[in-house]
Chain A
C-alpha cells in the first residue's frame, strides 16, 4: 500500500499524448497493411 503512494502515476497530458500516438501508429499500420494485402492480391491476379 505504501509503495502505491510512492508511484508516480502517468499524468493526463502524457497519457493523452501517448494514447494518441499509439492510436495513430495502430491506425496507420492497419491502413498500410490493408493496402499491402490489396496490392499483393492484385499482383497475384496479374501473375
Chain B
C-alpha cells in the first residue's frame, strides 16, 4: 500500500509542476484574446485538449505531448513500409529501446515544425509576437521545443515512477482541467431555455451513462479457449485456459490519432494567414460540421484497425502457441490457428470500432440537434480519452497491489 501511495504522490507532484509550467507564457508573446478563440470550438480546441490545456496561455508547455503522438504515428506507419524498421521493432527489448530513441528523435523534428507553424499561425491571425524579427521567432520556437522536452521528461518520470502511462496522464490533465468550465458553459446555456434545470440534470445523467458505456466496452472481452496438448482438462469444473482479447483492443488511441490528424490540414492552411481556404478548412473540419463529423468517424475506423494490427500480432501468437505445445480446440496449430485468430480479431474489432464510433460521435451529433455548442461536444470526445486513462490508472494500481501481495507470499 505504501508503494502505491508513493507512486500516486509522485504523479500528483509531477502534475503540479506541469500545471505550473502551463501558466508560464513564452517570452516575447502577448496572448491577448487567444483564450476566447480557443474556447469557441475551432480545430485548435482539439489541439488544446491534447496539449493539456497549455495552448490557451501559449505557455512553454504549449506543444504538450502532441509531437510525440505524431512521431509515434509516423514511425508506426514507417514500420509497415520499411523492412529494417519492422525487423528492429520485432527484436524484443533492445529493438524496442532503439525504436523509442528513433521516435524521440522524430519527436524533436516534428516539435520544431509544429512550434514554428503554431507561432506563425498565431502571429498571422492575432499578431501575438512583440518582436517579429527572425531572432524573435527562433527564440519562441526554441522555448516551445525546450518546454516540449521537459513535458516529455515529466511524462517519462510518471511512466517510470508514477501511476499510468505518462503521456496519457498529461492528456488526461488537460481534459479533466477543462471539465468544470464545460459544465459551467452547459449550465449557463441550458438555463436560458425553458425547463433548463431539468435539461441540465438530463445532460448530467447522459454524461454518467456515457461513462458507464465506455467502462462496459473497455472491460468486455472475447476469450479464445486454449488447451495444453499434454494436459487432461475437466470441462465440468471449468478448468480452461484462454487468450483474452479486448473488444476495443486499440483503446483510446484511435480517438487521439483522429483528433490530431483532423486538425492538421487547418493548421497547415492557417500558416499562410487568414486566407479563404484556411477559414473554410477550419469551419468544415471542426466537429460542428457534418463533414468534420464524417471524416472524424472515418479516421477512427481507419486507426482502430491500424492500431489493432500493430498491437496484436496473430502470426506471433500462433507461433507462440505452437512452441508451447498449446492449441485451440478444433483448430490445427500453425497457419490455421493464425487464420482463426485473425478472423476473431477482425470480427471483434468491427464491433469494438462500432461501439467507439457511437460513443465518440454521439455527443457531436446531439450538439447538432440542440443548442449546445460544439465546444461541449468536444468534451464528449475528451471523455472517452479521460475514462480510458482512468481505467488504465485503476488497472495499474491493481497490478502494483497484486505484485506486492504475490511477493509477500514468496513470489519473485
Instruction: Say if the beta carbon of B19 comes within 8 Å of chain A.
Output: yes
Bound-state Cα–Cα, A11 to B157, Å: 35
Q: Which of B208, B219, B348 has the most CB of A within 10 A?
A: B219
1/0 per residue B338-355: CB within 8 Å of A?
Answer: 000000100110010000
Q: Please give me the residue from chain B that is nearest to A26 by CB atom.
A: B390
In angstroms, how far is the closest chain A Cβ from the Cβ of B393? 6
Q: Tally of A-B residue pairs with Cβ under 8 A?
A: 79
Contact: A33 with B176, CB < 8 Å? yes
Contact: A22 with B211, CB < 8 Å? yes
Query: Which chain B residues lie closer than 8 Å to A3 at the CB level?
Result: 222, 344, 347-348, 351
Contact: B222 with A22, CB < 8 Å? no
Grouping DSSP codes into helix (H, G, I), strand (E, B) and loop, the A interface class, with mixed when no group exceeds half, is helix
Q: Please give me the residue from chain A that is nearest to B174 by CB atom.
A: A33
Grouping DSSP codes into helix (H, G, I), strand (E, B) and loop, the B interface class, with mixed when no group exceeds half, is helix
Contact: B180 with A30, CB < 8 Å? yes
In angstroms, how far is the closest chain A Cβ from the Cβ of B347? 4
Query: Which chain A residues lie closer than 8 Å to B222 at the CB level?
Result: 3, 6-8
In angstroms, how far is the closest chain B Cβ from the Cβ of A10? 4
1/0 per residue B9-36: CB within 8 Å of A?
Answer: 0001001100110010000000000000
Instruction: Say if the beta carbon of B277 comes within 8 Å of chain A.
Output: no
Query: Which chain B residues lie closer than 8 Å to A25 at the CB level?
Result: 390, 393-394
Q: Please give me the residue from chain A that is nearest to B352 by CB atom.
A: A7
Query: Which chain B residues lie closer than 8 Å to A7 at the CB level?
Result: 220-222, 247, 348, 351
Give the interface of B toward A (CB within 8 A).
Answer: 12, 15-16, 19-20, 23, 172-173, 176-177, 179-180, 208, 211-212, 215-216, 218-223, 247, 344, 347-348, 351, 386-387, 390-391, 393-394
Give the interface of A toward B (CB within 8 A).
Answer: 3-4, 6-10, 14-15, 18-19, 21-23, 25-26, 29-30, 32-34, 36-37, 40, 44
A selection of 22 A-B contacts at a CB cut-off of 8 Å is A3-B348, A7-B220, A7-B247, A7-B351, A9-B220, A10-B215, A10-B219, A14-B219, A18-B215, A18-B391, A22-B211, A22-B215, A22-B387, A26-B176, A26-B386, A26-B387, A30-B176, A32-B15, A33-B173, A36-B15, A36-B16, A40-B19
